[in-house]
Amino acid sequence: MRKIIIEKNDSDQRLDRFLMKYLDNSSRGNIYKLIRKKVFKLNGKRIKEDVFIKENDVLEIFLAEETIASLQKEEEKVEKRGLDLPIVYEDEEILFVNKPKGLLTHPDKTEYKNTLSTKVLAYLADYSTRRFKPAPVQRLDKNTSGLVLFAKTYDSLKKFNEKMRNREIEKYYLAVVEGNVEKNGEIKGKLTKKEGINKVQVGKTGEKEFHTKYKVLERYGKYTLLEVKLETGRTHQIRASLNHIGHPIVGDRKYGGKTIGNVRSQLLHAYKVKFDGREITCNSKEIDEFLKKYCK
């Protein structure tokens, strides 16, 4: 038998969701089967899968230790050395990192180890447990650089996910686009995902509504530097929006942009985030170098 004291990071969630993380080498079906067999007690009472657990609750698992161990994956050891993690801001709740271009935010089928999330998990190893691991609140495309927000605790993850849903977190990007953008504007419409090619299309009809605002920061004749504000957070929203109005992002070949010099992917950088009266910013070395070389 094993006794678990529920910690703050694990509180206020359903029992079945907690068990899916704690017994992470088991299937959802097997966990439900164990619940029906009354293998678990919470504060000395038999329970159902939809009960919510609270801080300092006592969860008992009436299985042999070797059985419990077989239902858990072996925890990976993390190495903090050589992370090269560009931290912009950190406090007890959150971490902002300036994601480099070419690095995935999350692991996927093409790359598992060398991602921003795995680097952050190594850095925040002391915050990780079997039941909770620090997680990003939002993501960026592989070839978009800039600020990514990570929650360090379960409470902060819930808090900032809710802020994101309620649009209490303002996100601003820098984009170098082709052509002379004459004035500030906004783009509204609907996006349809084009199956098989990881691309979206702007139209009057579509699957998801989007809203993009942009402001001219500087005009350079052939190119314009824009500040772009997201009012919605859709996949490839900025890239598709700017191409739709005839000003594709420099280097964004998927959405109409041209390759300029060694710029072979979008000059798009998440440079500013506002929330709770705070402002977090970071610059893009790539954009600065492009402007110095091509926009004198």
Nearest CA to 180 among 214, 216, 224? 224
Tell me the average pLDDT across 52-58: 89
* Tens digit of each residue's pLDDT (9 = 90 or more) over 207-243: 889 999 999 999 998 999 999 999 998 989 999 999 9
**Spatial separation of the C-alpha atoms in residues 213 and 67, rounded to whole Å:** 55
Return the active site residues.
141
Residue pair 96/152 in contact (Cβ under 8 Å)? The answer is no
Does the structure show a pLDDT above 80 at 74?
Answer: no
Answer whether residue 78 shows pLDDT above 60: no
| pLDDT one-digit tens code per residue, 167-215 | 999 999 999 999 999 999 999 999 998 877 889 989 877 788 999 999 9
Superfamily of domain 2-70 in the CATH hierarchy: RNA-binding S4 domain (3.10.290.10)
Residue 106, pLDDT score: 85
Indicate if 170-294 has the same CATH topology as 2-70.
no
The pLDDT mean for the chain works out to: 89
pLDDT at 81: 45
pLDDT for res 154: 87
Domain boundaries, the chain: 2-70, 87-165, 170-294
* Superfamily of domain covering 170-294: Pseudouridine synthase (3.30.2350.10)
Mean pLDDT in residue range 111-129: 85
The CATH superfamily holding the domain 87-165 is: Pseudouridine synthase (3.30.2350.10)
Q: Is the dihedral of CA 268, 274, 280, 281 positive or negative?
A: positive
